A = this chain, B = another copy of it.
Amino acid sequence: MDLLKRAENALEFHFGRAVGSGAPPRLVEAMRHAVFSGGARVRPQLVLSVAMACGEDAVELTDAAACAVELMHCASLVHDDMPTFDNADIRRGRPTVHKAFGEPLALLAGDALIVMAYQVLLNAGQAYPDRLVALMQNLSAGVGLPSGIVAGQAWECEVKADLGQYQRAKTGALFVAATCAGALSCASDASPWAALGANLGEAYQVADDIRDVMGQVILMGKPVGQDALHARPSAASELGLDGAMAHFQSLIEQAVDCIPQCSHRGLLQQLVHREAERLVPSAAFAEYRSQQSATPQSISA
């Protein structure tokens, strides 16, 4: 089974089990809208592939760890899309949760998804209490204080924020949690896998900044030009578009290089390169740059 398919199946199974019976139906519907919306499932695939590289031996726990990371990611998207932050009407080409279900249910769906991430781990991890505790610590670090994705988002509300610290927390922290979760779910040492997550996370954030500027030529499935609109720290505004692209490529190479020696190293390296091309297609970037040089206006990123 390919990794995307495995991640989707695991999400269906673990989501359904955690919902239980008797929950408010519209809340569940809002949560499903947030989770089952054609996302690329990058983080759970990362959990699964690192686990395979570590000699996976507890399939259900690894699946649960992959789901938990994705549920946290979905929760953060629901809250970030709300009017008080991005005020985004669409996400992945569909109405955002607050647009489809109203703000109260969007707020609650995000809260319930955070709790569900822990529930999914708890439901699957009974047979492995030590791994379970390590996975929950790892997940909490990726999301909470001091430097998880919630803290990362909060740096946007500070008067002074360091771009690197902001990006490492806002995006990198959950990628680090993903690679480490893959290792922890098979009782492997997580530390050699943290750098892969950190480099990939930073690369994703830079890619997102680049795509936000290039939005005209790539189908984003969400509003573009948001960084400039919200005056958010952005690699594209700090380094210029070419500088940001060079930084992105260097982060991808660092990610590829830092993958520890393991049985699937070559496969993992291919996965990273494929993801890089999916994130910022080289042809689309080249086309955008040639359009830019053909017109006299400057890049107002």
Contact = CB atoms under 8 A, between A and B. Distances in A.
A243 to B, nearest CB: 26
A146 B104 contact: no
A224 interface: no
A153 B154 CA distance: 25
A45 interface: no
A254 interface: no
B24 A157 contact: yes
A122 B144 contact: no
A111 B21 contact: no
Interface residues of A, number: 58
Contacts of A268: none
A127 to B, nearest CB: 11
Q: How many copies of this chain sit in the oligomeric assembly?
A: 2
A146 B107 contact: no
Main secondary structure of the interface of A (DSSP, over half): helix
A122 B136 contact: yes
A145 interface: yes
Contact of A155 (B24, B116, B122, B144): B24
A53 interface: no
A173 to B, nearest CB: 12
Nearest to A82: B107
A2 interface: no
Interface in A60-104: 75, 79, 82, 84-85, 101-104
A267 interface: no
B115 A150 contact: yes
A239 interface: no
Interface in A121-153: 122, 125-126, 129-130, 132-133, 136-137, 140, 143-148, 150-151, 153
A258 interface: no
Contact of A129 (B26, B129, B140): B129
Contact of A122 (B104, B110, B122, B137): B137
A161 B22 CA distance: 11
A296 interface: no
B104 A157 contact: yes
Contacts of A4: none
A105 interface: yes
Given A27-B157, A31-B145, A108-B153, 16 more contacts: A20-B147, A21-B146, A22-B146, A23-B146, A79-B108, A105-B157, A107-B107, A111-B143, A112-B150, A115-B145, A115-B148, A116-B144, A119-B137, A119-B145, A129-B129, A129-B130
18 contacts: A19-B146, A22-B147, A23-B151, A23-B154, A24-B151, A26-B154, A31-B145, A75-B111, A101-B157, A104-B154, A104-B156, A112-B150, A115-B143, A115-B145, A115-B150, A119-B140, A119-B145, A125-B133
